[in-house]
């Protein structure tokens, strides 16, 4: 799968060669390209319109989060986690807090776990909505963007009321929650769910049976289940290729085990299946939230966690199902208040690796669609 | 001097178009009327497109410049006039300068033969539809020149793509038009006509619009033309030329200021031109709905009031909105403006009620109402459809529309032959 | 407070001076059930934390540790390490230690490789420390026989004070068995590790990042070059001897042309 | 038959055509000469109109100006023409050119001197209005066979073009 990296320099200056009779053309897309979802540079090797292969150049948004992690105490590192996948900040926070709780051998109280599930699933819906809006915009449908962002606004309002921030929410703490849920939290979440159900049908009405949408997405960016597993691709992309695997079911965390929901899978693993999988996932998240809100127990929201955390020497790998895939934290503790090694396994970074395989043989216009369907966030890819 | 006046009045009684009647003065007046009307229509289209698209997308559209953004198009036009008009360094200045004019020429000269009424057309060429198709194919030249003269790869690729698209959809368009013209020959003399007014007369004589003639065939031909015309003007699902999300920018990226506004003007007038062809050929140009079925004097009276009623309806909307305008002093000027606009519309509505005026204006009203329907369709397409990929677009042009066009043509000819035989 | 990093870190890798940022507690109009103990603590403003010595006497933390009621961790800045044991601390829970992990798979592997592998389990997570020489082979076995077909992550940890400085970690997961294990191996600085790209295609970028951050070379990797940092960057940031303030080296001066003041 | 336009228009149009023709062969830049060719073709269409042949004028605009010239421009733009701009204009066959020019000149002078009796001025029989109908009846009536042969020829040309381009697609 290795493409030779000796890319022939773009030799258009020499006059005797027009850009049409050159057998292989190298084109640079990005890093400031409207459709690359952030700062990603893709070097495309083209034969006319067909993509021979591509190479991603990343690192433009690298902030060295893992190095900083080694110089912050466990609680101080919490806000950094939200800045990685800034679209799904809450699930980053959940992953990190649960990893450290496992290290400290502490369990968050049931009420905290329920609120965490509610907020994380809301975050999954918000992330999928943002994905749908921008993905449809890349393929040319302008309207879904406004619908999805109008509905996403409601979720951000709930976050703002709960923890003061809309995007990088820093809602969870190691051991539980910082804030008790505000008065009327359950009612507001319930109203939102009833508000959202017909809206998801609206998105489906606009796109699912839209002939041009189907034609632009069916059979584009196909990837088989074996390639997905070999490349380590996870999340909706893996499920769309037919692998029925979701960490919330496979290795339940934060009492997902006592909510029932299905895992959608696709058959062909193309862009259209990924679209369908994510739409069903949004509906399943609504189901989970409904059950979580109904069964919200009373009780404390914070476990017995020492103010100064000095976890015993040892290491832990804990991963959760973020909207983009498996988000893992590998924390090595040396007994001090600061982690010795803070490794983050981002889903977008590994999923982006599959872009080359998915775009082989497609046309240039489809590269945009495939980047959109991978749902990558460069903050998470570059850390 | 009175010879001149007499020359002018002589035309008023004749029922032929000024061009056909050889009356140069009225021809000039009609030209002025049509082109001012066209630019007003383009300005209105600019505002309508922004507002309707916005309301489709759960937002308000321009609200700040004038009441409900009514002055926005004027602001745009002014901005474009004042903007610096740059020309790329090694651009081919002659071709770069000429391209927008050719495109505008092609888009405007189509209106010479557009029949707003039995005698409301600048002229009545007997090759009307052929002339329209010929001239609209000239705009491809302008686009190719614009793309090439910008002297950079992406406009060139954009120009080649959009001209390839226009050329291939012209073929499908031609076939659809031929099958409509074939229907005009089902009269006693057995010879159809290419002249636009002749086509509408034929529809009136045969008592039904061509879109309903030989039931599915007319509709299919109309459908082919409707799709091809959207592709011809690089609009909505076929606007691949200026697809910003891909590499290639449109052919008019290097243009700015006034030259760019020429392209913008040409695009809208081409849209209006092509939809007026569709209205003439299939939707019975200026004929009011059910001319033969509901043909009594009472019915024609009722139908003659419709233009006045619509304008009064618009005026009512304006007044209703002035009531809804917030009471803040800052909005006082806007409420006044909207009220004045409503008053003007109301006045026009009232004038349209005068029988003499409404009799003459009625045709133009029905024609432009149908064209406005098409304009709404254009905006609706842009709101809902994603963009076709270039190869899908060409595949649909050659492998779907062309065979369908041929099929419809052959079937129409067959059915027409049967009808003549019987 | 620019703090010059001490070159050789003391054996127990205490973090050097860390600015205790005053973390503003923004309750966000929240009706906080934990009454009263959430207000910001005025006197514990950004204390000038002395270089961290384990036994540093911390300025008197507000001893108003509420009774072991769920006190919101809230605004009081985390105390410097080595806080004196709070009087009402709960009795020390037994410190978890790695216990040997045994399973039929381990028995089979032990039969094949004898002392080369050392399976352990910590907090219920199984991992095995594998001798460096076994690396490509045991991963191959795990991938094919034991069907660990998903290479979750490849990373490394730098222990400068040990004689084998680097610990390369493979996190593997098996879909059929829904089981996750970690395979670790210890290598010296400068030694290369055989690449596992032929085993899992997904290892390509993961290994490039480990090379980029630690400088560990992977033999047989199709395209081993930096992935996150620019090509001409000198040094590997995640090594412990690479100071956190040391980002303005000559690449930054050449390419960005900023004479950073740090 | 009222004349379509005064003789002034005839001289104007023919002047445009002549100027266009000269421009076509003298321009260094191929695109400029293509545009000049388009101008001449349009002027020619206008002259057809003056000869009461609106159908032919319409077809001329569609086919020549709208279709063939677009393909000319396509080809010129796709094939890189910068190199030809730099090369020196050479022309070694000026002898043959001279002979052809003199022959053509002689023909023109002969026609000009003989004057009208070569083409007897017949009154125009068909009305300008149904010109298209008459062409249609001639085309599909009397000359049906030759019409079909011509279309067959075109078909062969199209298939040839597709086969030549086949290897690249």
Structural domain includes residue A241: yes
Please check whether residue D21 touches B, CB under 8 A.
no
Which tens digit of pLDDT belongs to each residue from A339-356?
999 999 999 999 999 999
The chains in contact with chain C, meaning 3 or more Cβ pairs closer than 8 Å, are A
The domain containing residue A40 runs over which residues?
12-57
Would you list the DSSP string of C240-256?
TTS-TTTT-SHHIIIII
Structural domain includes residue D104: no
Whole-number Cα distances in Å, C82 to A46, A101, A104, C56: 60, 20, 17, 7
Would you list the DSSP string of B274-288?
HHHHHHHHHS-TTPP
pLDDT score of A16: 44
Q: Determine the distance in angstroms separating the CA of D8 from the nearest CA of chain A, rounded to an integer.
A: 47
C-alpha span between B391 and B396 (Å, rounded):
8
C-alpha span between D134 and D126 (Å, rounded):
8
Whole-number Cα distances in Å, D166 to A20, A52, B144, D68: 16, 21, 25, 22
Q: Residue A112 in contact with residue A177, Cβ under 8 Å?
A: yes
Sequence-distant (≥ 6) Cβ neighbours of residue D152 within 8 angstroms: none
Return the residue in A12, A14, A18 with the most chain D beta carbons within 10 A, the one to mutate for interface testing.
Answer: A18
pLDDT score of A263: 93
More reliable by pLDDT, D5 or A277: A277
> Number of Cβ pairs closer than 8 Å across B and D?
78
My answer on whether A76 and A178 are in the same domain is: yes
Structural domain includes residue D101: no
Instruction: Say which of B243, B384, B391 has its CB closest to residue A143.
Output: B384
HSE toward the beta carbon, residue A37, CA cutoff 13 A: 31
My answer on whether A125 and A42 are in the same domain is: no
Q: 3-class SS at D168?
A: coil
Q: Determine the distance in angstroms separating the CA of A135 from the nearest CA of chain B, rounded to an integer.
A: 11
Cβ neighbours, 10 Å, residue C19:
12
Whole-number Cα distances in Å, B322 to B72, B325, B331, D108: 18, 5, 10, 76
More reliable by pLDDT, C18 or B8: B8
C-alpha span between C181 and C169 (Å, rounded):
10
Q: What is the mean pLDDT of residues B333-337?
A: 89
Helix (H) or strand (E) holding A67: helix A65-69
Mark which residues 35-54 of C lie under 8 Å from A by CB: none
| Long-range Cβ contacts of B21-28 (<8 Å, 24+ apart) | B22/D2, B27/B122, B27/B123
Return the residue in C21, C152, C248 with the most chain A beta carbons within 10 A, the one to mutate for interface testing.
Answer: C152
Please tell me the least confidently modeled range out of B12-16, B147-151, B307-311, B343-347. Answer: B12-16
* Domain positions in chain B: 2-287+359-421, 300-353
What is the number of structural domains in chain A? 2
Q: Determine the distance in angstroms separating the CA of B14 from the nearest CA of chain A, rounded to an integer.
A: 51
Task: Enumerate the residues of chain C whose CB falls inside 8 A of the CB of residue A328.
Answer: 152-153, 171
C-alpha span between C188 and C170 (Å, rounded):
17
Structural domain includes residue A5: no
Please check whether residue C60 touches A, CB under 8 A.
no
Q: What does the DSSP 8-state code read for residue D65?
A: I
Question: Which of A257, B170, C152 has the alpha carbon at shortest distance from D61?
Answer: B170
Please check whether residue B98 touches D, CB under 8 A.
yes
Would you list the DSSP string of A93-106?
HHHHHHHHHHHHT-
Q: 3-class SS at C150?
A: strand
Q: Would you call C237 and A64 a contact, using CB atoms and an 8 Å cutoff?
A: yes
C-alpha span between A56 and B1 (Å, rounded):
80
My answer on whether A16 and A74 are in the same domain is: no
C-alpha span between D137 and D47 (Å, rounded):
23
Q: 3-class SS at C122?
A: strand
Q: What is the mean pLDDT of residues A311-334?
A: 92
Q: What is the mean pLDDT of residues A38-47?
A: 85
C-alpha span between D21 and D85 (Å, rounded):
20
Structural domain includes residue A370: yes
Task: Enumerate the residues of chain C whose CB falls inside 8 A of the CB of residue A72.
Answer: 18
Q: Residue A206 in contact with residue A188, Cβ under 8 Å?
A: no
Q: Would you call D58 and B127 a contact, using CB atoms and an 8 Å cutoff?
A: yes
Q: Which residues of D touch A (CB under 8 A)?
A: 78-80, 82-83
pLDDT score of C91: 57
Helix (H) or strand (E) holding A172: strand A172-173
Q: What is the mean pLDDT of residues A315-337?
A: 92
Task: Enumerate the residues of chain A whose CB falls inside 8 A of the CB of residue C96.
Answer: 105, 312, 314
Question: Which of C256, C262, C210, C204 has the alpha carbon at shortest distance from C232?
Answer: C256
The chains in contact with chain A, meaning 3 or more Cβ pairs closer than 8 Å, are B, C, D
Q: Residue A40 in contact with residue A2, Cβ under 8 Å?
A: no
My answer on whether A72 and A106 are in the same domain is: yes
Task: Specify the CATH number for the domain of residue D73.
Answer: 1.20.120.1200
Question: D touches B (3+ CB pairs < 8 Å)?
Answer: yes
Please check whether residue A195 touches C, CB under 8 A.
no
Q: 3-class SS at C154?
A: strand
Q: Determine the distance in angstroms separating the CA of B272 from the nearest CA of chain A, rounded to an integer.
A: 23
Q: What does the DSSP 8-state code read for residue B195?
A: -
Which residues are registered as beta bridge partners of C184? C129, C169
Stated pTM of the model: 0.83
Q: Residue A175 in contact with residue A98, Cβ under 8 Å?
A: no
Q: What is the mean pLDDT of residues B11-17?
A: 72
More reliable by pLDDT, B395 or A12: B395
Cβ neighbours, 10 Å, residue B148:
23
Please check whether residue C125 touches A, CB under 8 A.
yes
Please check whether residue D58 touches B, CB under 8 A.
yes
Helix (H) or strand (E) holding A41: strand A41-47
Peptide bond connecting A31 to the previous residue in cis, omega within 30 degrees of 0: yes
My answer on whether A23 and A168 are in the same domain is: no
My answer on whether A95 and A161 are in the same domain is: yes
Q: Determine the distance in angstroms separating the CA of D23 from the nearest CA of chain A, rounded to an integer.
A: 27
Exposure pattern of D90-115 as b/e (b: 16+ CB <10 Å)? eeeeeeeeeeeeeeeeeeeeeeeeee
C-alpha span between A55 and A5 (Å, rounded):
8
Whole-number Cα distances in Å, A35 to A31, A295, B243, B249, B404: 10, 42, 11, 14, 36
The domain containing residue D162 runs over which residues?
129-169
ipTM entry: 0.81
Please check whether residue B237 touches A, CB under 8 A.
yes
Please check whether residue A20 touches D, CB under 8 A.
yes
Strands A314-322 and A325-333: antiparallel
My answer on whether A182 and A104 are in the same domain is: yes
Q: 3-class SS at A331?
A: strand
My answer on whether D136 and D67 are in the same domain is: no
Q: Determine the distance in angstroms separating the CA of B95 from the nearest CA of chain D, rounded to an integer.
A: 8
Return the residue in B151, B155, B386 with the most chain A beta carbons within 10 A, the one to mutate for interface testing.
Answer: B386
Q: What does the DSSP 8-state code read for residue A302?
A: B
HSE toward the beta carbon, residue D122, CA cutoff 13 A: 5
Task: Specify the CATH number for the domain of residue A73.
Answer: 1.10.645.10
What is the number of structural domains in chain D? 2
Please check whether residue D66 touches B, CB under 8 A.
yes
Structural domain includes residue A6: no
Q: Could you give the angle at which helices B153-184 and B196-206 cross, rounded to 10 degrees?
A: 40
The beta strand positions in chain C, using DSSP E, are 99-100, 117-122, 125-130, 150-158, 166-174, 179-187, 192-194, 217-219
Q: Would you call A140 and B387 a contact, using CB atoms and an 8 Å cutoff?
A: yes
Which tens digit of pLDDT belongs to each residue from B241-269?
666 555 556 777 788 888 888 988 999 99
Instruction: Say which of A29, A49, A216 has its CB closest to residue B386.
Output: A216
Q: What is the pLDDT along chain C (262 residues), one digit of tens a residue?
A: 333 343 344 444 443 433 443 333 344 333 334 433 333 333 333 343 433 444 443 343 344 444 443 444 444 444 444 444 444 445 566 777 888 888 888 888 888 887 778 888 888 888 888 888 888 888 998 888 888 999 999 999 999 888 888 999 999 999 998 999 999 999 998 889 999 999 999 899 999 999 999 999 998 888 888 999 888 888 888 888 887 776 656 777 777 777 655 5
Instruction: Say which of A178, A231, A345 has its CB closest to residue C201.
Output: A231
Structural domain includes residue D102: no
pLDDT score of C73: 40
The residue in chain D having the minimum alpha-carbon distance to the alpha carbon of residue A49 is D169
Q: What is the mean pLDDT of residues A139-156?
A: 92
pLDDT score of D84: 61
Task: Enumerate the residues of chain A whose CB falls inside 8 A of the CB of residue D80.
Answer: 15-16, 18
Q: Residue B204 in contact with residue B291, Cβ under 8 Å?
A: yes
Please check whether residue A209 touches D, CB under 8 A.
no
Mark which residues 146-185 of C lie under 8 Å from A by CB: 149-153, 155, 157-158, 169, 171, 175, 178, 180, 182
Q: Would you call D78 and A16 a contact, using CB atoms and an 8 Å cutoff?
A: no
**B371 pLDDT higher than 50:** yes
**B348 pLDDT higher than 50:** yes
Which tens digit of pLDDT belongs to each residue from B21-73?
777 788 888 889 898 999 899 999 999 999 999 999 989 889 888 888 899 99
Question: Which of B191, B182, B176 has the alpha carbon at shortest distance from B230?
Answer: B176
Structural domain includes residue A101: yes
Average pLDDT, chain B: 86
C-alpha span between B110 and B126 (Å, rounded):
14
My answer on whether A318 and A246 are in the same domain is: yes
Q: Would you call B388 and A212 a contact, using CB atoms and an 8 Å cutoff?
A: yes
| Long-range Cβ contacts of C137-145 (<8 Å, 24+ apart) | C138/C109, C138/C113, C138/C183, C139/C170, C139/C172, C139/C183, C139/C196, C139/C199, C140/C199, C141/C109, C141/C112, C142/C172, C142/C181, C142/C183, C143/C172, C143/C199, C143/C200
């Amino acid at each position: 799968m290795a493409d030779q990296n000796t890319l022939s320099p773009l030799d258009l200056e020499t006059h005797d060669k027009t850009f049409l009779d050159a057998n292989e053309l190298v084109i640079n897309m990005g890093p400031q390209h409207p459709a690359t979802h952030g700062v990603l540079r893709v070097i495309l090797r083209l034969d006319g319109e067909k993509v021979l292969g591509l190479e991603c150049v990343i690192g433009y948004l690298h902030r060295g989060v893992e190095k900083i992690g080694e110089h912050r105490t466990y609680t101080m590192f919490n806000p950094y986690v939200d800045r990685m996948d800034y679209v799904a900040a809450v699930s980053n926070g959940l992953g990190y807090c649960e990893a450290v709780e496992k290290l400290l051998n502490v369990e968050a109280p049931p009420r905290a776990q329920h609120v965490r599930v509610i907020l994380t699933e809301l975050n999954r819906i918000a992330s999928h909505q943002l994905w749908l809006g921008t993905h449809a915009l890349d393929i040319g449908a302008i309207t879904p963007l406004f619908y999805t962002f109008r509905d996403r606004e409601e979720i951000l309002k709930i976050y703002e009321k709960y923890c003061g921030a809309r995007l990088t929410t820093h809602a969870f703490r190691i051991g539980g929650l910082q804030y008790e849920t505000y008065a009327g939290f359950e009612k507001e979440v319930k109203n939102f769910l009833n508000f959202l159900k017909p809206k998801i049908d609206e998105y489906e009405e606009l796109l699912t049976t839209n002939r041009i949408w189907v034609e632009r997405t069916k059979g584009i960016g196909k990837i088989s289940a074996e390639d997905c597993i070999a490349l380590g691709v996870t999340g909706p992309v893996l499920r769309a290729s037919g692998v029925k695997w979701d960490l919330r079911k496979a290795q339940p965390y934060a009492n997902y085990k006592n909510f029932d929901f299905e895992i959608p899978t696709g058959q062909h693993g193309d862009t259209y299946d990924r679209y369908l999988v994510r739409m069903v996932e949004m509906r399943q998240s609504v189901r989970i939230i409904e059950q979580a809100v109904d069964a919200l127990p009373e009780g404390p929201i914070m476990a017995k966690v020492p103010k100064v955390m000095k976890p015993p020497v040892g290491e832990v790998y804990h991963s959760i199902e973020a909207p983009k895939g498996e988000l893992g934290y590998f924390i090595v503790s040396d007994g001090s208040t600061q982690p010795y090694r803070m490794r983050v396994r981002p889903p977008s970074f590994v999923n982006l690796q599959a872009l080359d395989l998915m775009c082989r043989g497609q046309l240039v216009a489809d590269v945009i669609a495939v980047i959109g369907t991978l749902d990558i966030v460069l903050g998470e890819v570059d850390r | 001097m009175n010879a001149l006046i007499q020359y002018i009045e002589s035309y008023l009684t004749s029922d032929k178009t000024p061009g056909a009647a050889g009356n140069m003065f009225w021809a000039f007046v009609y030209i002025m009327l049509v082109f001012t009307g066209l630019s007003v229509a383009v300005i209105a289209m600019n505002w309508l497109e922004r507002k309707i698209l916005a309301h489709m997308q759960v937002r308000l559209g321009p609200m700040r410049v004038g009441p409900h953004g009514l002055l926005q198009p004027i602001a745009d036009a002014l901005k474009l006039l004042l903007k610096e008009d740059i020309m790329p360094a090694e651009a081919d200045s002659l071709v770069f300068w000429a391209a927008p004019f050719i495109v505008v020429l092609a888009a405007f000269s189509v209106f010479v033969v557009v029949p707003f009424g039995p005698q409301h057309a600048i002229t009545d060429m007997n090759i009307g539809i052929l002339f329209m198709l010929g001239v609209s194919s000239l705009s491809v030249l302008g686009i190719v020149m614009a793309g090439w003269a910008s002297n950079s790869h992406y406009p060139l690729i954009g120009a080649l793509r959009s001209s390839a698209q226009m050329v291939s959809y012209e073929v499908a368009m031609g076939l659809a038009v031929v099958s409509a013209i074939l229907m005009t020959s089902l009269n006693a003399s057995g010879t159809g006509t290419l002249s636009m007014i002749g086509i509408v007369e034929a529809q009136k004589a045969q008592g039904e619009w061509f879109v309903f003639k030989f039931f599915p065939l007319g509709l299919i031909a109309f459908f082919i033309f409707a799709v091809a015309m959207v592709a011809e003007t690089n609009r909505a699902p076929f606007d691949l030329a200026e697809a910003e999300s891909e590499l290639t920018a449109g052919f008019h990226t290097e243009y700015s200021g006034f030259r760019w506004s020429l392209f913008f003007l040409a695009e809208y007038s081409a849209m209006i031109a092509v939809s007026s062809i569709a209205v003439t050929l299939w939707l019975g140009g200026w004929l009011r709905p059910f001319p033969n079925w509901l043909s009594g004097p009472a019915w024609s009276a009722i139908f003659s009031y419709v233009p006045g009623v619509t304008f009064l309806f618009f005026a009512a909307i304006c007044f209703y909105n002035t009531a809804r305008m917030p009471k803040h002093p800052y909005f006082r000027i806007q409420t006044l403006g909207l009220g004045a606009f409503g008053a003007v519309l109301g006045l026009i509505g009232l004038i349209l009620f005068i029988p003499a005026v409404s009799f003459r204006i009625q045709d133009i009203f029905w024609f432009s109402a149908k064209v406005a329907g098409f304009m709404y369709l254009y905006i609706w397409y842009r709101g809902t459809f994603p963009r076709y990929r270039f190869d899908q677009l060409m595949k649909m042009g050659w492998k779907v529309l062309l065979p369908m066009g041929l099929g419809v043509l052959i079937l129409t000819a067959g059915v027409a032959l049967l009808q003549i035989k019987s | 407070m620019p703090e010059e990093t001490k070159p050789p870190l003391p054996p127990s890798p205490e973090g050097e001076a860390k600015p205790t940022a005053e973390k503003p507690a923004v309750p966000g109009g929240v009706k906080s059930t934990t009454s009263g103990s959430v207000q910001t603590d005025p006197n514990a403003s950004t204390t000038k934390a002395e270089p961290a010595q384990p036994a540093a006497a911390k300025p008197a933390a507000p001893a108003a540790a509420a009774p072991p009621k769920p006190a919101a961790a809230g605004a009081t800045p985390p105390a410097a390490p080595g806080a004196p044991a709070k009087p009402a601390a709960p009795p020390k829970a037994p410190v978890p230690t790695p216990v040997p992990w045994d399973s039929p798979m381990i028995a089979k592997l032990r039969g094949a490789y004898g002392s080369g592998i050392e399976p352990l389990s910590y907090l219920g997570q199984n991992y095995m420390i594998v001798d460096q020489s076994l690396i490509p082979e045991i991963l191959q076995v795990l991938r094919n026989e034991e069907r660990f077909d998903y290479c979750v992550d490849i990373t490394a940890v730098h222990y400068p004070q040990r004689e084998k400085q680097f610990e390369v970690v493979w996190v593997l997961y098996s879909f059929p068995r829904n089981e996750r294990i970690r395979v670790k191996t210890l290598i010296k600085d400068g030694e290369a590790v055989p690449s596992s790209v032929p085993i899992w295609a997904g290892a390509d970028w993961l290994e490039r990042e480990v090379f980029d951050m630690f400088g560990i070379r992977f033999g047989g990797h199709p395209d081993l070059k930096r992935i996150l940092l620019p090509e001409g960057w000198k040094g590997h940031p995640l090594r412990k001897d690479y100071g956190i303030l040391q980002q303005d080296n000559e690449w930054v001066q050449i390419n960005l042309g900023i004479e950073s003041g740090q | 038959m009222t004349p379509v336009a005064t003789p002034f228009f005839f001289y104007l149009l023919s002047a445009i055509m002549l100027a266009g023709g000269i421009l076509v062969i003298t321009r260094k830049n191929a695109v400029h000469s293509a545009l000049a060719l388009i101008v001449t073709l349009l002027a020619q269409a206008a002259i057809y109109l003056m000869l009461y042949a609106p159908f032919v004028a319409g077809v001329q605009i569609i086919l020549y100006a709208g279709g063939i010239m677009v393909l000319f421009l396509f080809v010129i733009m796709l094939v890189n023409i910068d190199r030809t701009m730099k090369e020196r204009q050479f022309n070694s066959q000026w002898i043959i050119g001279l002979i052809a020019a003199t022959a053509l000149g002689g023909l023109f002078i002969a026609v000009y001197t003989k004057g009208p009796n070569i083409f007897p001025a017949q009154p125009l029989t068909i009305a300008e209005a149904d010109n298209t109908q008459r062409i249609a009846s001639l085309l599909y009536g009397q000359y049906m066979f030759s019409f079909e042969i011509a279309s067959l020829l075109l078909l062969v040309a199209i298939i040839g073009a597709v086969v030549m381009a086949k290897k690249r697609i």
